[in-house]
Copies of this chain bind each other. A is one copy, B any other.
Amino acid sequence: MSCRLPMVSAVRTVGLLRRGEESLLLPSQRRRWLSASAIREDVLSITNLEDRTRPAFARTASSKLSTLTWSAPPRNVLIVKKRHVPIVRSALVSLARHLKANYPSTNLILEPSTAHSLHHEFHFPVYTLPPSEKLGPRGERLYHDKTDLLITLGGDGTILHAASLFSACRMVPPVLSFAMGTLGFLGEWKWEEHAEAVGEAFAGGARVLRRERLKVGVYDCDGKRVTGEWEFESIGDAHAMNEVNIHRGKSPHLAVVEVFVSGRFLTEAVADGMIIATPTGSTAYSLSSGGSIIHPSVSSLLLTPICPRSLSFRPLVLPADCVLTLKLSAKNRAGNVEVSVDGRRWGGIGRGEEVRVWAEKIDGEKGGIPCLKGRLGGREDDGWVGGLNGLLKFNYPFGEEE
């Protein structure tokens, strides 16, 4: 590809600089020797970056929160933004400049389309996946290898998308999320607080909630692992932040699913589908399907049926240390049912095949999505209450006020 060469030379040059030196160069110098191309000169391949710095998570008094600490300050910052919203675009530009001005060794990583549309706003290079790696497992591997800190600008959907880039990664970088617009459950910080938030994230000491994920595997009738259409499974297990579901999809016939808890038969569900969700996902599809709202600090797996042919299939909340299995029954009339992970199609499974779901183990540096806790609304608050009231219109009273 035409942009390859300049990038390679850029890489080398950058590689020769030590951390921090790069910022000593004047913009004009950098632009000159990086490339002759005016347009693409500052979009570099993420492969040029040094490998990530891993954070540590120290225990706190609360069993559920930990404290972020860095062995070395974070440098490679991946910013993921909501699309097509001008105000979010501007925020990203401001944020990137703020980072570079205040933490000069910062390397800015963007998703490819964002990188190409925004790099001209900056007098410093922007890193992204090399063109050949826009999609698929190798691209995701690069994000995994390079990202120190992940910042999202948008709403819960943006965080979900960002998390999906690390769905095969056991050591997701810390996530700093800014709620742009409606407050969500996951967007912990207000945009107005970004200087303070970034300060906390870089300095260490921020409170972190490591959100449970689900580990998902699909197995055939003989118990052998099957891979679906998710290529990146080749680099690791698939993990879900919100939920895994199976669904009859386009078939008119209800799915017939045997449900097992840690290998013991629980029930046979005849339904449109079944959801297994995390507490984080309790306010997503599971909620639409009648599930309760579970605080993200309650370690558990949710089992919520989708339109069951039963009056008495109340949603269940199960311990995080069990494995849940959804096995497509031999009675299922349609050939197969759809499996989705966090709303993305994984593929179909046939009769006798099964989806097994575990709560991801969180220990040491590994496991969960480490979300930096915010101070939404100016007070020490967990955002969850704000999400309930702001987003769900939780407990909005009906009837006239007296």
- Mark A residues whose CB is within 8 Å of B: 62-64, 154-157, 181-182, 184, 249-250, 252, 261, 264-272, 279, 282-285, 287-295, 297-300, 302, 305-321, 331, 333, 338, 340, 343-345, 381, 385, 388-389, 391-402
Contacts and interface: CB of A to CB of B under 8 A. Distances in A.
Contact of A394 (B311, B317, B333, B385): B311
A401 B182 contact: yes
A298 B299 contact: yes
A316 B293 contact: yes
B297 A319 contact: yes
A267 B269 CA distance: 26
Contacts of A312: 311-312, 392-396
Contact of A314 (B154, B155, B394): B394
A181 B320 CA distance: 32
Given A268-B397, A292-B317, A393-B396, 12 more contacts: A154-B400, A181-B401, A252-B340, A252-B343, A252-B344, A252-B345, A292-B315, A298-B320, A312-B395, A333-B402, A391-B398, A396-B396
B321 A295 contact: no
A311 B393 contact: yes
Contacts of A272: 272, 288, 306
A395 B268 CA distance: 8
A284 B308 CA distance: 10
Copies in the complex: 4
A291 to B, nearest CB: 7
Nearest to A252: B343
A331 B155 CA distance: 18
Contacts of A182: 400-401
Contact of A181 (B62, B268, B400): B400
Contacts of A396: 310-312, 393, 396
A379 to B, nearest CB: 8
B297 A298 contact: no
Given A287-B398, A385-B264, A399-B156, A298 B310 contact: no
A292 B309 CA distance: 14
Contacts of A388: 266-267, 316
B292 A314 contact: yes
Contacts of A331: 402
Contacts of A269: 395
Given A290-B290, A398-B309, A399-B309, A321 B63 contact: yes
Contact of A288 (B308, B315, B344): B308
Contacts of A316: 292-295, 388
Contact of A307 (B64, B264, B289, B293): B289
A15 B393 CA distance: 58
Contacts of A321: 62-64, 297
Nearest to A342: B252
Q: Please indicate which of the listed interface residues A290, A299, A343, A399 has the most CB atoms of chain B within 10 Å of its own CB.
A: A399
A302 B292 CA distance: 10
A399 B392 CA distance: 7
Contacts of A320: 298
Q: Please indicate which of the listed interface residues A269, A271, A395 has the most CB atoms of chain B within 10 Å of its own CB.
A: A395
A331 B313 CA distance: 28
Given A307-B285, A311-B311, A344-B252, A394 B319 contact: no
Contacts of A265: 385
Contacts of A306: 272, 307
A282 B317 CA distance: 10
B393 A393 contact: yes
